[in-house]
Chain A
Amino acid sequence: MPVVPLTDRVPDDELMRQVAAGDGPAFAELFRRRHPVVFRFALHMTGSVSTAEDVVQDVFLIVMRDAVRYAAGRGAVVAWLCGIARNCVRQRMERDRRLAPLESWGVQEPASDEGGPMDALAGLLRTERIELLRRAVQSLPVPYREVLVLCDLQEMTYEDAAKALECPVGTVRSRLHRARGMLTAKLCAARDSAPASRGEDRSGDPAPTTDTGERDRAVRADGADAGGYCA
C-alpha cells in the first residue's frame, strides 16, 4: 500500500478521522497545522505565553480522547478546536483568577534606524499603539473578548465562531459589534487621560521630562490619536 504524505491537501476532517483510528502521523500533522490557531486564541485570551502553551497541550490531549466524537458535518475542525480551547481557557481563568500572571506577552517590535530618527519614532509609536490595543483587548469582558479574538484576530467566520462559542450567529454578530464599541471607548479613554501631561510638555518647559509615567502617557496619547479610532 503506497504511503500518502500528509500535506495540506488532506482536509482537516480526514485528519480527524485518521486520528480517531489511531494514526500517529495524522495526529502530528493536525497538531502542526492547527496548534498555532489554538495558541494564538489562548494567548490573546489570557495574555500569557506559558498559559497559552498549557492550553494547547490540554486541547490536543482532549483531541486524542475525543477525536471519535468529532462530527464532521457539524462545523469546521478549527471551530471545534477553538471551542475546546475556549473551555480550557475559561477553566484556567477560573482556577487562576486570584493569581497574578507570572509573565505577560507584550508586543516587541524592534525600532529601526535605517530610515532615520523619524522612522524610528514612527516604529516606536506603532509598537506602542499595538501594545495599547493589546491591553485594551485583554481588558474586555470574556464573552466579548472571545468573539473579538475569534472574528477579528483569528478572522474566523461568524458561522464558525458561533460553532466554537455554541451560540447563534446573531449573538456573535451583536457581541462583536459591542466588543468593537467597547474597545474604541477604551482607546479613546486612554487618549483623553493623557493630554494634561502632553500639554505640559508642549507648554514650553525646555528640559525633557525624566518622569517615565509622564512620557508613557504622552506616547499612549500619541498612539491612540494615531490609531484614529476616536470620533
Chain B
Amino acid sequence: MNCREFEADIVDLARGADSGTQVAQRLGEHLEGCPGCAARVERERRLTAQLKALASSAPESPRAAAIEQRLLGVFAERQAEASRPVAASKSVFATRAARRWLAIAATLLIATLAWLGSARWWPAREGQSVSTRAELGPPAPDPAATRAAERADQGTVAQAVEARPREQAPRARTGRSGAPPVERVGNEEVLRFVMLPTAVGMPGLESGRIVRVEVPTAMLPAYGLDVMPGPADGVVEADVLVGQDGQARAIRFVNLDSTQRRRQ
C-alpha cells in the first residue's frame, strides 16, 4: 500500500486523535511492514510532545485580575443603562412627528444663534434707541420705531412689523416688483421692518427697543437682499427690534444702496 495514503493518519495517530477503528487497524498493519512510516510516527510523536511542552510553558495573563475587574465594571454599567426606564424618552422621541418637530426647533435655534453670532451689536445710538417705556419713559423721536411700538401695543409682533408676504419674494427675485419702499428717518434711508423667522410664535410685543447693529453682507441673502459686490467681510447697518423679553423680533436695514435693496 502507498505510504502517502497514511500521511494524515500518521499525524492523527501521533497526536492521539481518534481516526476510527478501521483506519487504525489498516495503519497498524502498514506500520508493521514499513520502517519509514514507523520512524515518521516516532518523529511526529516527538513533535507532539514538544508542542505540549510549549503549550504548558505559556505564562498566565499577568493582568487577568485587573482586566476582570474592568470588564465587570463595564458589564454593570451596561446592565444599569439597559434597566433604566425609557418610557419617558420613548414618549417624546418615539413618533416620527415628534422627531420632525424637534428637528425644526433645532434648526430655528441654530439659525437664531448664527444670526446673533454674526451680528456685531452696537450700543444704541443716542436719540435712536426706543427703550421700554417703563425704563426710559417716552420713546425717542424715531418715527419708524414709534409706529412699530404703537402697533405692538395693539397686538403681536407679526402685526407690528411689515411682515414680508410669502408671494412677494419670488416676484422680487424675478425683478418684477421693483425696489422696496424706503422711508427717510432724519438723514437716513430705512427699509421696512421685516419679521424675523425666529419670532414666529413669540408672545406679543408689549414693549421693546431698537438696537443698531452691523450685519455682514454675507448674511443679506438670508433676508432676501442681494450681496453687494465688494469685500466679502463687508458689513451693513440694520436696526433690530428687541422685545420686552430680550428676543429679537424684527429687522430693518439702513442706508442700503439700490443694488442691495433690489431683492427685498
B57 interface contact, C-beta 8 A: yes
- Is the CB–CB distance between B11 and A176 below 8 Å? yes
Contact between B75 and A227 (Cβ–Cβ < 8 Å)? no
Which residue on chain B has the smallest CB distance to residue A32? B68
Query: Which of these, B12, B39, B48, B55, contacts A231 with CB under 8 Å?
Result: B39
Q: Which of A5-13, A49-57, A87-95, A193-201 contacts B (4 or more CB under 8 A)?
A: A49-57
The answer to whether A56 touches B47 (Cβ under 8 A) is no
Q: Tally of A-B residue pairs with Cβ under 8 A?
A: 110
Q: What are the residues of chain B within 8 A of A31 when measuring CB–CB?
A: 68, 71
Q: Does B63 contact A (CB under 8 A)?
A: yes
Bound Cα distance A213, B196 (Å): 83
Q: Which residues of A contact B72 (CB under 8 A)?
A: 24, 27-28
B54 touches A134 (CB 8 A): yes
CB pair B46–A27 under 8 Å, yes or no, is no
B39 x A130 contact (CB < 8 A): no
Chain B, residue nearest A155 (CB): B55
Check B39 against A49 for contact (C-beta < 8 Å): no
Q: Which of B62-85 contact A (CB under 8 A)?
A: 62-64, 67-68, 70-72, 74-76, 78-79, 82-83
**A204 lies within 8 A of chain B by Cβ:** no
The CA of A158 and the CA of B11, in the complex, are separated in Å by 13
B60 / chain A contacts, CB cutoff of 8 Å? 36, 39
**A 14-56 binary contact with B (CB < 8 Å = 1; else 0):** 0000000010100110011001100110011000010011001
Q: Which residues of A contact B79 (CB under 8 A)?
A: 22, 24
Q: Is A73 an interface residue (CB 8 A)?
A: no
- Measured in the bound complex, the distance between the Cα atoms of B67 and A28 in whole Å is 11
The answer to the question of B58 belonging to the interface, with a C-beta cut-off of 8 Å to chain A, is: yes
A142 an interface residue at 8 Å Cβ cutoff?
Answer: no
Q: Residues of B contacting A228 with CB < 8 Å?
A: 42-43, 46
Option from B17, B55, B63, B76 in Cβ contact (under 8 Å) with A154: B55
Q: Determine whether A165 belongs to the interface, using a CB cutoff of 8 Å to chain B.
A: no
Q: Which residues of B contact A151 (CB under 8 A)?
A: 15
Docked CA distance A134–B63 (Å): 22
The CA of A176 and the CA of B64, in the complex, are separated in Å by 30
Chain B residue at minimum C-beta to C-beta distance from A183: B47
A152, closest chain B residue (CB): B51
A39 touching B61 by the CB < 8 A rule?
yes
Please state if A39 and B64 are interface contacts (CB–CB under 8 Å). Answer: yes
When A24-B72, A57-B67, A184-B43 are in contact, do A44 and B51 touch as well, CB less than 8 Å?
no
A43 nearest CB neighbor, chain B only: B58
A57 to B47 Cα, complex, angstroms: 32
| The 7 A-B residue pairs with the shortest CB-CB distance in the complex, in nearest-first order | A153-B55, A228-B46, A39-B61, A152-B51, A22-B79, A107-B57, A40-B58
Given contacts A35-B64, A60-B71, A64-B74, 12 further A-B contacts (CB under 8 A): A27-B71, A43-B59, A53-B64, A57-B71, A61-B71, A126-B53, A134-B57, A152-B15, A153-B58, A180-B11, A229-B50, A231-B43
A-B contact pairs, 18 of them (CB 8 A): A24-B76, A28-B72, A36-B61, A44-B58, A52-B61, A57-B71, A60-B67, A61-B74, A105-B58, A130-B57, A153-B54, A173-B8, A173-B12, A176-B11, A183-B47, A227-B46, A230-B43, A231-B43
